[in-house]
Structure 1
Amino acid sequence: MQLAEPAHFSPVVAGLRFSELTDDLNFKRDFKLVGDSLGMWCSFVLQHTGLKAGLVERFRSVIYIFREGREISQDLIQTRCSRGADIARQLRFPEPVALGIYSLDEHWNGGGRPDHLQGEAIPVYARIALLAQVSDVFHTAGGREAALQEVRLRSGQWFDPALVRAFEQVAQDRDFWTQLSAPELIQSVLALEPGRYVVPLDEDYLDDIGVAFGQIVDSKSPYTSGHSARVALYTDLIGETMGFSVERRRWLKRGALLHDVGKLGVSNSVLDKAGTLNSEEWEAVRLHAELTESILSRITAFHELARVAGAHHERLDGKGYPRGLGAEATTMETRIITTADIFDAITASRPYRGPTPIPQALEIMDKTVGTALDPACYAALQRAVAQVPQA
């Protein structure tokens, strides 16, 4: 049997391959369960590759990952680490925090990635975060003893031995483990934040937050690359055409950048599925709108935007989601984001098709005016697109 392979390796191709073949939410969690042994790596690949594909395609996929896995993972981790550090800087985090994020996958013995740093050369924030991630995964899967056993086992390999000793001291307190499962865990974590580190929010910082989190969402899958930024652009063009003030457009643009933040809680295996979704998968897709509202509503500065952005899949005829709101309950700001989102969804490439030309996209959208789309927003989109030079 001849296996199809790319002539030259590309991180984008690798990203697409992993996106198509794995459930990214479980993948990220379970990857921390994998040690350094070949047997554990093989088991991990078999458990996470091509689970929804046919037997032949799954066999091809597994062989591909076995043969190209190291190069693929190196490039993906390099990209993820670099992007994470850049986003941290954009959010105005201190440079040590950005470097800690960049080095999250480095191991004490030098066997990690992306730069194979060793020992004290690894930023201390990264060393602490890696130990915390792995211990949490094993604690969730097997309880306190499983977490302690795995941390001790990886001491001197993945983890700084001094940090392992500190962790063992903390682990003697039974209340520590109880708190990890407590409903008020988030509040407990927030309470640890020193008051002197509170950063005042200005308009520029709010813009930076919107852009940064839009990039985080868009980087979840190669198929969504640039989606939030494009929706924000189309939203701004529609708002300008409709006569919105500069201040209101700026505010609404943030909502467009953040409208899909709830997708972070939905698996790529669902979001990027080319075929028909089953009922369970469709419920997962619908959930992202609710998650968007839930996440944004926790931030005072985004409280009004939470409802506007979270309703971007509602329809004028009440057949949308998550609440089935009708025209009377849907704001004009939401209708603008909805129009921009649908326009980009049609004109951008998807797993199952290439991009649709703008004239054809507008024809498709025209059929839903008055039911899904607001007539005024659609007319503004038409006028805005007509003013943009076509390539």
Structure 2
Amino acid sequence: MFVSPVQPMQTSLPELMGAFSFALDLTEGQPEGHSLRACSIATAVARALGIEGDELRTVYYTAMLKDLGCSSNAARVAETYLADDRSFKHDFKLIGDGIGPALRFVFAKTGRGQPLPRRAGAILKILRNGPQIVDGMIAARCTRGAEIARLLRFPEAVAEAIYHLDEHWDGGGRPDHLSRDAIPLASRIALLAQVADVFFINAGPDAAREEVARLSGSWLDPELCRHFEQVSRERSYWQSLCADSLPERIGNLIPAEAAMAVDEDFLDDITAAFGQVIDAKSPYTGGHSERVGDYATLLGRTMGMTAAPLRKLRRAAILHDVGKLGVSSTILEKPGKLDDDEWQVMRGHAGETARILSRIAPLQGMANIAAAHHERLDGKGYPLGLGASDLALEARIISTCDFFDALTADRPYRAALPADRALEIMESEAGRAIDPACLSALREVQL
């Protein structure tokens, strides 16, 4: 059973998860709303089967949060295929089943635009170790997705269903090569919903229905495919998936869930869990979000902030980089200087952070604070070029903490610096990039 938290806020669990699902769409390179559309499709199929109660809740959250673990293999995809992980993942979902199409796709995409020796080396490595590489990436995604689901307090049935999302009806899927009814029902429904939405958004309703029918009996459970064919006959069904009201409708799709309020402690847990989703995007950012949250809490307390504002500050600090889920790992992991186009994409992550957090009712007030972590007192930062008079204390604190942690952690272009050296560098930027009072507080907590 799902246990309803106490001390309600002005949001519900479906609303929160639905809002955060837009961040999951980013990391998979899917068009905005993919997770919500998949949830809608999955719930309709489940209801056509007569599923209700806890089993329906499991289907609902499995489909909505199926991509919780996807950020964990982003860097590996980019490294292995020498490609933009987001576009690679997006396009790979469109090739259907079969080793032939998969190999043609991989050969066409791997190292495109790279020098021939580097591209040839990458393809040779894939030919030699292809199954093991794919097994490892899918296992990482599935395992991490299940772990995050548990951190979000979902029942084991949801965690297990997310873990088995990539299993196929005929036993040819991963990670455990389960087949038929051995695959959790929620996993089978969520995979069907994913396929349907990917093809719907790219080529329309007929393409979605044709692809589901084509995969019936191989990837997909034939009975589920029959129910999908019935619920998706009308054009109005597909139109509803593109309506502006979709987020609200998804939030109210299961009335008992819509009434499930989220308390402050649960919101803290949700924030921490999505901080781990963010950090999994890069091998260089493990623990970054939590550390920035810890530093910000220490600085805020040292500078006189009280408990309630401190709690909001910590959430904003942990989620400040959520927009980086929309940045290709080829950019995040680049060991050299970014070119102009890459730098433009990188700068865009701050605005994306504001856009995502502004969807989340209890975080809306901190959305612009979190997004301002690359603004500077002298007005030379980004994304808006704000100056000292525009930057709240919370934004100055997060910026200082992010700066410090970036210097004291390994990066693709340099090794981590000792804390003393990092503070020296920051001192040279005091009054220009960062607030001297925040730096003084940081020195105090470092002592």
**TM-score, L = length of structure 2:** 0.79
Question: Residue 351 of structure 1: SS of its match in structure 2?
Answer: coil
Using a 3 Å threshold, how does the CA distance of structure 1 residues 287 and 93 change in structure 2: closer, same or farther?
A: same
What SS is found at the alignment partner of 1:355?
coil
Q: Percent of aligned positions with the same letter in both sequences? A: 52
Distance 2:164 2:205 in 1: 26
Residues 1:267 and 2:361 are matched in the alignment: no
Asked whether the 8 Å contact 2:251–2:258 carries over to 1, the reply is no
The aligned amino acid for 2:349 is H
Q: Which residue of 1 aligns with 2:298?
A: 237
Give the CA deviation at 1:277. 2.5
Aligned to 1:142: 203
Normalized against structure 1, the TM-score is what?
0.89
Shift, 1:242, TM fit = 2.4
Q: Equivalents in 1 of 2:259, 2:88: separation in Å?
A: 34
**Residue in structure 2 matched with residue 19 of structure 1 by the alignment:** 78
Deviates most, 358-367 or 241-250: 241-250
Q: Does residue 199 of structure 1 match 2:272?
A: no
Partner residue of 2:216?
155
Separation (CA, whole Å) in 1 of partners of 2:170 and 2:214: 13
RMSD over aligned Cα, in angstroms? 2.0
* SS at structure 2 position matched to 1:356: coil
Instruction: Give the conservation status (yes or no) of the 8 Å contact 2:111–2:122.
Output: yes
In the alignment, what sits opposite 1:328?
A: 389
- On the 8 A contact 2:74/2:329 being kept in 1, the answer is no
Equivalent in 87, 100, 119 of residue 39 of structure 1: 100
> Are 1:352 and 2:408 matched, yes or no?
no
Q: 1:108 maps to which residue? A: 169
Residue 22 of structure 2 corresponds to none
Correspondence for 2:142? 81
Question: Per the alignment, do residues 52 and 260 of structure 1 end up closer, same or farther by CA in structure 2, a change over 3 Å counting?
Answer: farther
Secondary structure in 2 matching 1:276: coil
What's the CA shift for 1:302? 1.0
| Residue identity in the other structure for 1:292 | T
Partner of 1:290: 351
Structure 1, residues 265-295: CA drift from partner, whole Å, max 9, x if none?
Answer: 2222222223333333222222211121111
**Aligned twin of 1:224:** 285
CA distance, structure 2, for counterparts of residue 209 and residue 227 of structure 1: 16
Letter in 1 for 2:264: E
1:367 alignment partner, SS class:
helix
The answer to which of 303-312 and 15-24 deviates more is: 15-24
Question: Could you say if the C-alpha distance between residues 214 and 47 of structure 1 is closer, same or farther in structure 2, counting changes exceeding 3 Å?
Answer: farther
Asked if the contact 1:23–1:48 (Cα under 8 Å) also holds between the matched residues in 2, the reply is no
Distance 1:203 1:25, change over 3 A: same
| Aligned mates of 2:151, 2:99 — CA distance in 1 | 38
Q: Tell whether 2:438 aligns with 1:377.
A: yes
1:104, distance to aligned residue in structure 2 (A)? 0.8
Structure 2 CA distance, aligned partners of 1:58 and 1:196? 49
Counterparts in 2 of 1:177-196, with a 5 A limit? 177-196=238-257
Structure 2: gaps (5+ residues): 1-71
* Equivalent-residue separation in structure 1 for 2:103 and 2:257 (angstroms): 48
| Residue aligning to 2:117 | 56
Residue 15 of structure 1, CA deviation: 6.7
Measure the CA separation in 2 of the matches of 1:251 and 1:325: 22
Unaligned runs of 5+ in 1: 1-12
How has the CA–CA distance of structure 1 residues 186 and 202 changed in structure 2, closer, same or farther, with 3 Å as cutoff?
Answer: closer
Structure 1 residues 36-90: Cα deviation after superposition (integer angstroms, max 9, x where no partner):
4222121221243223532211211122122222112212221221211121122
CA contact (8 A) 1:317 1:326 kept: yes
Distance in 1 separating the partners of 2:408 and 2:363? 29
